Amino acid sequence: MNPTGQSRHNRFPAAGLALAAAALLALGACTAPGSTGSGPDGAGTGTGTGGATSASQPAAGTGSVTTVASGLETPWSIAVLPDGSALVSENDSGLIKHIVDGRMAASVEVPAEIDPTGEGGLMGLALSPEFESDQRVFVYLTAPEDNRILSYRWQDGQLLDERLVLGGIPKAGFHNGGRLKFGPDGHLYIGTGDATDAGTAQDLASLAGKVLRITPAGDPAPGNPFGDSPVYSYGHRNVQGFAWDSSGQLWISEFGPDRDDELNRIEPGGNYGWPVVTGAPGDGRFIDAAYVWPSTREASPSGMAIIEDVAWLAALRGQRLWRVDLGGTISGEAVSDHLTGEFGRLRDAAEAPDGSLWVLTNGGSPDRMLSVPVR
């Protein structure tokens, strides 16, 4: 299998959703393996190695993309509540917006000190597996000292009863990671970045550059590969998205250093190579990425959702929605892009109660939560 990105442009067969089908120009790589790539991810103009793309094809979804909610400012994460409404975190403001039937039912400030410098701020949201009884909402944020996980009780549009779940995750202006989700096993998975200190990704004593797995109370989850440690996998540069397929397999999206953005199939205890290697070099010391986008200009894959074993990844610099069929060999026809340039930078994707995809724009004036038909 060749996991390096050779993809095709697709479009949704609906008015207003035509995609650009022009091939992208190949660009020279500017950052070598082993360098820190310490600048901002998902911003500016990419300089990775881009492959040509083929003509547009129809996608699975029918119907038009619609706006669920507007008036958002740099939103980062979506958490879908049991009643079908949504909580959306805003990166810079430190607010959580409660969206009910397309209206902003509440705008709540997270009652913690947040440092929004660079790529820090309020990031991931996750609901307790027992949310209907305990009402706990988990947040990933950048505090003055570190990145940390806090939980609150969501009650009548308020965040109450703050608890520190996990602290000590290294912070920096860039590469803070920020995604968190509960897995099918009921444990909390956390994606961190290397905090611009690339060597920490290979250091099992550091929480940077890792996928972490903990209990809702913040303890290392039973069965973790490194004993009494929250580390689940390592050698990551800047983890951005989590989702599980129908078999319970965890997949993550990860920013590369201006090239070699990755979709990774996570194995407990796996070493994914950063900063020694990126992408899928076939080095037996590390686990190759399942799919590699050679050009960050096309990708910067952020939040993701898996629906019927198809991964949908929101792309920042790529300003598109990537579709990856996980059912077989991940190359060629299994990978396609949608909404290219239609809505600007895309930050997160989540399955909506009606089976469509909710997608957050990022960097618009203002930003929106979109409903995208994918079935």
Q: What is the C-alpha separation between 268 and 95, in angstroms, rounded?
A: 34
Pairwise CA distance, residues 278 & 312, whole Å: 22
- Classify residue 84 as exposed, middle or buried by CB count within 10 Å of its CB (0-12, 13-18, 19+): exposed
Q: Confidence band (pLDDT; 50, 70, 90) for 38? A: low
Q: What is the pLDDT of residue 364?
A: 84
Q: What is the mean pLDDT of residues 302-316?
A: 98
Rounded distance, CA 134 to CA 154, Å?
9
pLDDT score for 4: 52
Residue 102 lies inside a defined structural domain of this protein = yes
Question: Residue 44 pLDDT more than 80?
Answer: no
* 222 domain residue, yes or no: yes
64 part of a folded domain: no
Average pLDDT for the chain: 88
Q: What is the pLDDT of residue 332?
A: 85
We report the CATH number of the domain holding residue 89 as 2.120.10.30
Nearest residue to 26 (alpha-carbon basis) of 7, 53, 56, 4: 53
Q: Using 50, 70 and 90 to split pLDDT, how confident is the model at 39?
A: low
* pLDDT value for 3: 53
Instruction: Determine, yes or no, domain membership for 37.
Output: no
| pLDDT (mean) for 154-165 | 98
Round to whole Å and give the CA distance between 178 and 142: 9
**C-beta separation of 166 from 149 below 8 A:** yes
Q: How far is CA 22 from the centre of its chain?
A: 27
Residue 248 lies in a domain: yes
* Higher per-residue pLDDT: 44 or 275: 275
Task: State the total domains in the chain.
Answer: 1
How high is the pLDDT of residue 63? Answer: 85
Domain hosting 264: range is: 77-303
57-114 pLDDT per residue, tens: 334 566 899 999 999 999 999 999 999 999 999 999 999 999 999 999 999 999 999 9
> pLDDT, tens digit, for every residue of 325-354?
999 889 888 999 999 999 999 999 999 999
Residue 21's pLDDT band (cuts 50, 70, 90): very low
Examine residue 187 and state whether it is found in any structural domain, yes or no. Answer: yes
71 in any annotated domain: no
Give 32-81 as a DSSP string: -TTS---S-SS-S---S-PPP-EEEEE-S--S--EEEEEEESSEEEEEE-
pLDDT digits (tens, 9 = 90+) for 118-149: 999 999 999 999 999 999 999 999 999 999 99
| Mean pLDDT calculated for residue range 42-54 | 35
Q: Where residue 49 falls among pLDDT bands split at 50, 70, 90?
A: very low
* pLDDT band (50, 70, 90) for residue 222: very high
What share of the chain has pLDDT > 90, as a percent? 81
The answer to whether 211 and 221 are in contact (CB under 8 A) is no
pLDDT band with cut points at 50, 70 and 90 for residue 19:
very low
371 in a structural domain: no
pLDDT value at residue 5: 52
Please check the confidence at residue 206 and state whether its pLDDT lies above 80.
yes
